[in-house]
Amino acid sequence: MRRWRYKSGAAARLRYMQAERTAKDPMLALQGVTPVALAEALSIPLAEARKVVSAVHREKDLAVPLREVRRASLDRVRAEGVVPALQLIREESSQLDPFRKLLFSDGRGELFETVRIPLERAGRFSVCVSSQIGCALACAFCATGRLGLRRNLEVWEIVEQVRWVRRGLGEGERVHGVVFQGMGEPMANLDRVIEAIRVLSDPSAQAIDARCITVCTSGLPTGIRRLARELPKVRLGLSVGSAVPQARRSLMPIDDTFSLDEVLDAAIFHAQTTGLAPMWAMTLLHGVNDGDEHAAALADRALDFTRRAGVRPRVSILAYNHIDSEEADPFSRTPRAREEAFREVMRQRGVFTHKRYSGGSDVAAACGQLAARPSTHGGTENPHACALGFEGTR
């Protein structure tokens, strides 16, 4: 009998990442595995594993026979695999733009959010996914950071966010990309994030071009370097906060552990390894990081990065989005005239910036607003939200 050999360690990584669920449910979450991992985990041929993964991601019923998959292999999949479902609690559509926010429950009392982002080309969307429930990094201008960390999301929970958005698309519409910029710090859950990206980009699964996937971070250098080595086609996004050290430290406590110098050294490694220009995101806060000295410092950092890395970072300037919370918001949006003055200082130094539109602010779907709180904006409640179960795979 022919022996099948696959990439070493794929199944071991899979089992490790699902360890938290194994004690209660030893089943494999089939939408969270690549064909290679499934083949190794269940000792079935890779060609059959591809057929099974394709069937799962195209919503086919595994209770019926699959073409070109032997009964013995399919029986093993049914015995050891399951397609768990998230609870969709609510969908909210912005009245300002075509952004849509989805609120999910993990079935254990924790909530997290996903945003469907419209792209310039009609019918194409990007999905802003969460990688954690809450976040431990506590960036002062981010609603998620004020929650603290509840837990990491599993691979299947990350992938399922994209599957949910895809189900809601109309004829001729498609998911073009994924951005890890929802709730949580992706680099702090990197094992699962990397495996989720492998699933999302696998031709048998979601078949999303890896070059259209971006992982955003507040600055964890080890994770940035690992991302470059393991997923060289995936893009990097970096939240700067401020290029002035004291201001950055006050806004982003991670700076006490990893300075901007260390983070940019890792970003240079990423750029040199992948050949991809990173995206730098700078959220302007009135009277905090929007002065001329902050603009000059950011421009100088960008010029130095270009000289050392050989690629020019894409610097995006974001308007601050008010955080709706019980506590008074300590920040306010920079006036338009001050923002233009900030951008002009950078232009005079030879650095041109992009004004990034962050939509869905009326339903708290914009950058920095995700906190999985009960809605005060209306929205469509899911009448079946309490009926969490598993989609037929047993």
pTM of the model: 0.87
The domain 87-380: what is its CATH number? 3.20.20.70
Does 128 participate in catalysis according to the annotation?
A: no
E-state strands within 157-228: 174-180, 213-217
Taking residues 13-34, what's their average pLDDT?
Answer: 68
> Encoding tokens for residue 37?
């991992």
> Encoding tokens for residue 11?
């199944």
pLDDT tens digits, one per residue of 31-76: 999 999 999 999 999 999 999 999 999 999 999 999 999 999 999 9
Does 367 participate in catalysis according to the annotation?
A: yes
Of the ranges 25-29, 343-347, 361-365, the best mean pLDDT one: 343-347
Give the confidence band of 330 by pLDDT, cuts at 50, 70, 90.
Answer: confident
> Encoding tokens for residue 92?
């909210």
Those residues with Cβ within 8 angstroms of residue 65's Cβ, 6 or more apart along the chain or in another chain: 71, 74
List the catalytic residue out of 48, 113, 157, 160.
113
Residue 318 is inside which H or E element, if any? Answer: strand 314-319
User: How far does Cα 384 stand from its chain's mean position?
Assistant: 26
pLDDT tens digits, one per residue of 220-270: 999 999 999 999 999 999 999 999 999 999 999 999 999 999 999 999 999
List the catalytic residue out of 128, 135, 212, 367.
367
Enumerate the domain spans of the chain.
10-84, 87-380
Q: How many CB atoms lie within 10 A of CB 320?
A: 22
Secondary structure (3-state) at 155:
helix
Backbone angles phi, psi at 329, to 5 degrees: -75, 120
Number of helices (H) and strands (E) in the chain: give both, helices first: 12, 16
Q: How does the average pLDDT of the chain come out, rounded?
A: 86
